[in-house]
Chain A
Amino acid sequence: MSLLTIERPPAPTSASSPSPAVTQGSAPRTPSGKPTRLLIGLDLGTNKSCILAGPPESTDIAVSKVVPSVVGYVKDGIVDGIITGNVRILYGEDALRQRLHVELMAPLAEGVIARPEAARDFMQHVRLLADPSGKAEIRAVVGVPANAGEQAREGIRRSAQGIFSRILLIPEPFLAALGFRDDSRVKQPGYVDPVVNSLFIDIGAGTSDVCLVQGYFPTREDQISIPFAGDAIDEIIHEELNRTYPNNGLSRLSVREIKEAHAYVGPSRKPLDVKVVIGGKGRTLELADAIGSACNALIERIYPALTTLIESASSDSVVTLLQNIIVTGGGSQIRGIDTVLQKKLADDGYESPKVRLAGQDFQRYVALGALKAARAARENQWQVLLD
C-alpha cells in the first residue's frame, strides 16, 4: 500500500451539474482528541470505482478519485525492486501497470462482490485513499445495483466490516439522480429536478439499469436492471472478431479498448478501419459491422425497459418526464446513444422526447449522490458495522 499517491483533484465538473469545490488533505483530529468523522460516497463499480470523501456538515470534497476496481497480488518469486516498495498488493492503475508480475483479481462481477477477499483488500485501499492518516472514523454510503438482493448487500457489508464504522447501502440509479441534481438550481423556476421527475439509464460494465425517479424513493417496479452492458458488448465484438479474423490473438482488454474508441449505435458507420497489432505486425481491420451490431444489441435490450417505465408513469408527470431522460455510466459514451433512443421514442409516438447524456462527469454522479446522502443521513439511518 505504500504506492498510495495523493492525486490532484479533477478539473471542475461539467456545466450541467456543478459540484462542490474539491479541497486537498486528510481530516484533522478534533480538539477533544476524538477521531474526526469522515464521510465517503462510494460507487463500487465492476469496472471502475469512484471515491469521494469529505467532512460532515460541509459541501467540500477532500478526496475525489476514480480507481479501476482491481487488486493485484504480487506473484511469488518476483525479485526485489521490481515492484516499488516491495509491496505484496497493488491496486487500480498500479496493479494494471504491473499485470505481468501480479495476479489480477476483480472484486466484483456484474455489479456484485464476486471475490470477498479481494473486495476486503479493495475496501482497505478505498479507506486509505479517503483517509491517509488511517485515524478518522469513516462512514460510507455505498451504491448498490438496482436489483441487488440481500446476499449482494451482505457481501458489501462484510467486505466493509472493521474498515468503515457505519454504512448505508443505496441503489445506484437514485444516487445518480441525486448526484446529477444541481442543488444551486433546485429552487429556480423551470429547473426540472432530476430527483423529482426523471428517467435514468445507467449503462455500466455488468448491468444496464433503467430507473424512474419521481420524487419518492423508487420502488422495485420503478427499476429495471438488465444483465447486458459493456462487458456483454465486448463479448459479442470479440466473438465476431474471432469469426471474421481467426487467430487474431486480441485479448478481451484490447477488444474493450477498441470498443471504447469506436463504439456507436444507429446506422452502419462503414468504413471503420481499426489499426491493431497482431503477432507483432500492424493490421487494419474493418470493424463497422462488428461494433455496430454489438452496440445496437444494447439498444434492443434497453428500449423495452425504457418504454415500460415511461408507460408506468402517471399521465400528469409523463410529459415532463419525457423531457428528462438521462443516460449515464460508461455506456453513455457510445456515440449516438442519446439520439438513437430519442428518435426511437419519437418514432413510436412519444410526445417530444428529449434524451440527454449525463456528460463528462458520468463517472462521479453515483459517488456524488452517495456523499450527499451521507451528509444528509440521520443518525438512526446508518447501519453499524461490527468489528
Chain B
Amino acid sequence: MPLIPLAYTLLPLEAPWTEARRICRRVWLLRSKGLIAEAQRIEDTELAAVQVRAVPGGGLEADARFKALMTEERERMDAAVAFAEVLAPMLSERLRVFAPERGRTGMSPAPERKEPGPGGEARGIADYIDEMLAQDRAGSP
C-alpha cells in the first residue's frame, strides 16, 4: 500500500511545513474519530497560524500548495484507517483465541461523522455501545 504518495516527497520540508503536516494529520485523525468540533477548532486556530508562517505572503500558488498538503495528509490518514480496519478484526480474532473474554471489549472503528444518525430502531443499542467503546479506546470519556 503506497502510504506516502510521491508528491509528498516533492513538497518543501522546512519547519512550518513539517508542522503543518503534523497538524493536518491530527485534524484528519480527529475527523475520522467523529470529533468534528475539535478538528474544526484546530483547523481554525493552529493550522491557520502555521499556514501564515509557512506562506507569509499568501497568494494563489501558496494556497494551492497548502491545499495539496491537506489532501495528501487526508489520503495518508484514509489509507492508515483502511489498513487498520483490515488489521483490527484480524488481530481481534487472533487475540480472541489467546485471551478469551477477560477484560476484552468490542472492536469497531470509531464513529466517522457527527451527523444525526438514522432512526432509533435502525441502529441497535449494541451499535451505540460499540461506538462508545471505540471512543473509549481513542481516549474520549
Residue in contact with A197 in the complex, picked from B36, B116, B132, CB distance below 8 Å = B116
> Is B94 part of the contact surface with A, judged by Cβ < 8 Å?
no
Q: Which residues in window 93-110 of B have CB below 8 A to A?
A: 96, 101-107
State whether the Cβ of B59 lies closer than 8 Å to any Cβ in chain A: no
- Given A215-B123, A384-B101, A168 and B117 touching (CB < 8 A)? no
For residue B125, which residue of chain A has the nearest CB? A376
Stretch of A44-52, A216-224, A250-258, A327-335 contacting B (4+ beta carbons < 8 Å): A216-224
**Across the two chains, which residue of chain B brings its CB closest to A217?**
B131
- Tell me the nearest residue of chain B to A193, going by C-beta: B120
How far is the CB of A89 from the nearest CB of chain B, in Å? 30
Of A110-118, A144-152, A261-269, A299-307, the one contacting chain B is: A144-152
In the bound complex, what is the Cα–Cα distance between A372 and B96 (angstroms)?
26
Given A376-B124, A383-B105, CB of A219 within 8 Å of CB of B140: yes
What chain A residues lie within 8 Å of B102 (beta carbons)?
384, 386
User: Nearest-CB distance from A189 to chain B (Å)?
Assistant: 11
- Segment among A19-27, A79-87, A276-284, A309-317 that sits at the interface with chain B: A309-317
A217 x B118 contact (CB < 8 A): no
A263 to chain B, nearest CB (A): 29
Among A147, A186, A214, point to the contact of B119 (Cβ < 8 A): A186
Looking at chain B's contact residues, the main secondary structure is loop
Does B129 sit at the interface, judged by CB under 8 A? yes
CB distance from A98 to the nearest CB of B (A): 37
Q: A378, B129: Cβ atoms under 8 Å?
A: yes
Which residue in A170, A171, A186, A377 is a CB contact (below 8 Å) of B121?
A: A186
B8 at the interface (CB under 8 A from A): no
Is B128's beta carbon under 8 Å from chain A? Answer: yes
A219 B114 Cβ-Cβ under 8 A: yes
Docked-complex contact A196 and B117, CB < 8 angstroms = yes
Interface readout for B57-72 with A: 1 if CB under 8 Å, 0 if not? Answer: 0000000000000000
> Does B56 count as interface, using CB distance less than 8 angstroms?
no
Interface flag for B38 (CB, 8 Å): yes
Interface assignment of A2: CB less than 8 Å from any CB of chain B: no
CA distance A217 to B128 in the complex (A): 5
Instruction: State whether A380 touches B116 (Cβ < 8 A).
Output: no
CB neighbours (8 Å) of A187 from chain B are 119, 121
B132 to A217, Cβ gap below 8 A?
yes
Question: Are B111 and A220 in touch, CB under 8 angstroms?
Answer: no
Contact of B125 among A221, A314, A372, A386 (CB under 8 A): A372
Known: A221-B35, A377-B126, A378-B106. A195 touches B135 (CB 8 A): no
Contact A383 B117 (CB under 8 A): no
**A149 neighbours in B (Cβ, 8 Å):** 141
Residue of A nearest to B115 (CB): A314
B48 contacts the other chain (Cβ, under 8 Å)?
no
Q: Are B140 and A220 in contact (CB under 8 A)?
A: yes
| Binary flags per residue of A367-387, CB closer than 8 Å to B gives 1, else 0 | 000001100111111111010
Size category of the A interface is 35 or more
B141 touches A381 (CB 8 A): no
Q: Does B37 contact A (CB under 8 A)?
A: yes
- A373-B129 in contact (CB<8A): yes
Q: A127 to chain B: which residues have CB within 8 Å?
A: none
The answer, yes or no, to whether A91 is at the interface (CB within 8 Å) is no
Closest to B41 in A: A221
Which residues of chain B are near A138, meaning CB under 8 Å?
A: none
Cβ of B16 under 8 Å from chain A: no
Contact between chains at A214 and B116 (CB < 8 Å): yes
Residues from chain A with Cβ under 8 Å of B121 in the complex: 186-187
- The reply to whether B129 and A220 contact each other, CB–CB distance below 8 Å, is no
Residues of A within 8 A of B (CB): 146-149, 168, 170-171, 174, 178, 181, 186-187, 193, 195-197, 214-217, 219-223, 312-314, 316-317, 372-373, 376-384, 386
Question: Which residues of B approach A to under 8 Å, CB–CB?
Answer: 33-38, 96, 101-107, 111, 114-121, 123-126, 128-133, 135, 140-141
10 contacts between A and B (CB under 8 A): A168-B129, A214-B117, A216-B117, A216-B131, A217-B129, A219-B33, A219-B140, A372-B125, A376-B129, A380-B105
**6 further contact pairs, Cβ within 8 A, besides A221-B114, A386-B103:** A187-B119, A214-B117, A216-B116, A313-B116, A317-B116, A378-B130
